[in-house]
Amino acid sequence: MSFECEMLPAEPFSEWMRALVDRYGSAEAAHRCQLNDRQVRRNASGEPTTVGFGFVDRVLTCEGSTFIWELYPQFAPSEDGQPTHAWCKACKEEVPALGDQCGWCDGPLSAVEAVA
């Protein structure tokens, strides 16, 4: 699974969007995020229960003040040099790596299969 298509719980993003609207107003928040006002209002309202990784990443990149792992810690870069994601044979997908284990099924991962 590509993380670009991964669906995330919307609440952390909605909280971030509400704080942005509180700080700058809806129109300025929309401008900073390169969204329209309707998209800002909808995401700040918490209406969607999930939101796409690609959408969140694009909005945060456009706005520029927050890294995605500040809202979703599972995407934080590894401090120990270990890969943060790897291919899991059991899940048959790219998964978060927790040390040498799959973050989804706890199965073993091989360093050779590390993807980044």
pLDDT at 75: 79
CA distance 72 to 84: 13
Highest mean pLDDT among 55-59, 77-81, 91-95, 106-110: 55-59
CA distance 95 to 92: 9
> pTM here?
0.68
List b or e across 102-114, with b for residues whose CB sees 16 or more CB atoms inside 10 angstroms: bbeeeeebeeeee
Half-sphere exposure of 98 (CA within 13 A, CB side): 9
What residue ranges define each of the domains in the chain, with the CATH number in brackets?
3-73 (1.10.260), 77-113 (no CATH)
58 by DSSP, 3-state: which?
helix
The pLDDT-based confidence of 3 (bands split at 50, 70, 90) is: low
